[in-house]
A = this chain, B = another copy of it.
Amino acid sequence: MKIAVDAAGGDHYPKNPVLGSLLALEENEELSVVLLGPEDSIKEVLKDNRYPSDRILVHNTSQVIGMNESPATAVKSKPDSSIVIGLGMHKKGMVDGFVSAGNTGALMAASTFILGRLKGVIRPVIATYFPTVKGLGLMIDAGANLEVKPEILLQFASMGNIYARDMMSIDVPRIGLLNVGEEKEKGSDILKNAHQLMEGLPGFVGNIEGRDILKGQADVFVCDGIVGNILLKFGESIPEAIKFLLMAVAKKKGLNQEQMGLISEVLKEVFEPFDYQRVGGVPFLGVDGVSMVGHGGSSPEAIKNMILNAVKMAENEINKKIIASVE
């Protein structure tokens, strides 16, 4: 297995992508990586570390797509960027997958444009992990498709089902449609029709309301990219908000250092499920290849997890199963 790693994306490149790659190489001895980015800086990071030089290839790219650049123009105007080159290598079969902590929009655009769609897939989608009290769920779409149709939501459900089953080891994933009410006649016309289409899916548990997400009433939460993106970012902001409110209460109550220590320690564990670093990255599903994106602030550990997930996704032949499911 060979994975191309974007070493010119994210908030801490090339350092974290390089260190993350080394961790992945350590964990999987069958693995090799191609590091794409500014060669000199990459080698600078490498030379401070021990690494299996026979399993690392550095490929210099001269252009960098910034985190806030407009996706479509960036991809078109920067043919020698790590994203365009890396996905191009994947398209040519030189690597088995591509991972990046860079500009999500640009990655999505480039993945769709360069890799193409899987046969039968109407719209590629970003799936993302979402914490619940029962463990991690999968939210699909997390922001790729802002306008959807019922049959597109149905495909999200099918793709999410396969990912949850074969990548997250959930035997029979419960699939829910995010909506404003439980009853099947609730929601917009799009949601009502999507509900009807999804009734044929094994594991479909019907509409899921906002209050039932954290409760883990489904494993796969199907929604459009607006709802998913807002919820995803909202969820990520919860720990900080709670900590902020907590500090105010602690001050008001005059808690001592020991008491504060206890509370911080407990809360740190409580919020572990909300930590995006644990899971590394999330996939674009529906594109003809393995393309994963991680949070801009990804740690080396997060990058490592993302690389290993890409390996797993290639090995498990997720895309073959997706093609079969949308037929």
Contact = CB atoms under 8 A, between A and B. Distances in A.
Contacts of A232: 210
Contact of A238 (B183, B238, B259): B238
Contact of A230 (B231, B249, B265, B269): B231
A30 interface: no
Given A227-B227, A269-B249, A180 B146 contact: yes
Copies, count? 2
B233 A146 contact: no
13 contacts: A133-B245, A147-B188, A179-B230, A187-B226, A188-B226, A210-B234, A211-B237, A227-B227, A231-B234, A234-B234, A245-B270, A252-B269, A255-B266
Sort chain A's interface into a size bin. 35 or more
From DSSP, what is the main secondary structure of chain A's interface residues?
Answer: helix
A262 interface: yes
B185 A70 contact: yes
A229 B208 CA distance: 12
Given A213-B237, A241-B214, A178 B270 contact: no
Given A178-B230, A214-B241, A223-B230, 10 more contacts: A146-B191, A210-B235, A210-B236, A211-B234, A213-B234, A226-B227, A245-B270, A255-B262, A263-B263, A263-B266
